[in-house]
Amino acid sequence: MALTAERLFGHITHMIEALRRELLLLANPGKAEVLQRFFKTGPGQYGEGDLFLGVVVPLSRKIAKKYAGLPFEQISRLLESKIHEERLIALLILIEQFNRGDEEKKGRAFHLYLQHTAFINSWDLVDLSADKIVGAYLEGRPRDLLRGLAQSGSIWERRIAIIGTFHFIKQGRHEDTLSIAGLLVRDREDLIHKAVGWMLREVGKRCSEEAEEAFLREHAEHMPRTMLRYATERFSPEKRRFYLQKKMR
């Protein structure tokens, strides 16, 4: 028998509440305390106010797989949660639906993601999802959006911009990464320094060490030291020392 709108709404609401109950059953207060310190949730820190249940990622992935059919409206509810693991699961479900969806569904997932960047507000959430949704959707499309995100006042949108280019690095293409890295090379935030350095290192590893070095020769003197150290991590000691010595401050 077909579900009425009322019964359908009730079924969907039951799904999200069942998901939350399962998550609560897996809560580990000791682990939660460790995670809240690790993700800098104290006053004035980048993760201020974030709440953790202490559920490890492999268990979150199992829950996400079980509720992979959750409608977008309910994914939005999870993304807007104050609980970190609920936002993580929402992103895992969104990635799964993006991967399995047709072009229309991919577009909806992409736009839902961009509408919720204020809630994708931790480096692990960005790193989990940016290349798999933003980068993947922009395959074969204009990349202007990445430049806009890179110039955002939001640290998380700037990190989404550079990590989003990981999708192209994995395809052996580095141009977008170097373009966005150029916009972020003087960024003030440590979490951006680490992300840019990581992506530059991946350019050298997966695409072209020559292209990475060309970027470093141009920018090393004014790159933040953390960014430079991350970028040169795979170099020989001699080559790494050469670039680190170019750093003047």
Note whether 126 and 231 are same-domain residues: yes
Q: Would you state the pLDDT for residue 13?
A: 65
Q: Would you state the pLDDT for residue 248?
A: 53
Phi/psi of residue 51, each to 5°? -115, 135
Note whether 61 and 129 are same-domain residues: no
CA distance 122 to 82: 12
**Closest to 79 (Cα-Cα) out of 36, 135, 128:** 128
Note whether 96 and 199 are same-domain residues: no
Note whether 74 and 181 are same-domain residues: no
Residue 34 placed within a domain: no
Tokens 């079924």 correspond to: 11
Residue 36 placed within a domain: no
Using CB atoms within 10 A of its CB, is residue 11 exposed (0-12), middle (13-18) or buried (19+)? Answer: exposed
- Choosing from 119, 153, 172, the residue where a domain stops is 119
| pLDDT tens sequence for the chain (249 residues) | 344 444 544 555 688 999 999 999 999 999 999 999 999 999 999 999 999 999 999 999 999 999 999 999 999 999 999 999 999 999 999 999 999 999 999 999 999 999 999 999 999 999 999 999 999 999 999 999 999 999 999 999 999 999 999 999 999 999 999 999 999 999 999 999 999 999 999 999 999 999 999 999 999 999 999 999 999 999 999 999 999 887 654
**Closest to 116 (Cα-Cα) out of 160, 50, 174:** 160
Q: Would you state the pLDDT for residue 246?
A: 77
One-letter amino acid at 114 equals L
Note whether 159 and 85 are same-domain residues: no
Residue 40 placed within a domain: no
- Choosing from 63, 88, 119, the residue where a domain stops is 119
Residue 39 placed within a domain: no
Using CB atoms within 10 A of its CB, is residue 124 exposed (0-12), middle (13-18) or buried (19+)? Answer: middle
Note whether 227 and 205 are same-domain residues: yes
Task: Confirm if 226 and 197 have CB atoms less than 8 A apart.
Answer: yes
Q: Would you state the pLDDT for residue 167?
A: 98
Q: Would you state the pLDDT for residue 3?
A: 41
Q: Would you state the pLDDT for residue 9?
A: 45
Q: Say which residues have a Cβ less than 8 Å from residue 132's Cβ, sequence separation at least 6.
A: 95, 98, 99, 167
Note whether 100 and 201 are same-domain residues: no
Note whether 139 and 239 are same-domain residues: yes
CA distance 61 to 59: 5
Note whether 130 and 246 are same-domain residues: yes
Residue 33 placed within a domain: no
- Structural domain that includes position 181: 122-249
Note whether 78 and 162 are same-domain residues: no
- What is the total count of domains within the chain? 2
CA distance 122 to 57: 14
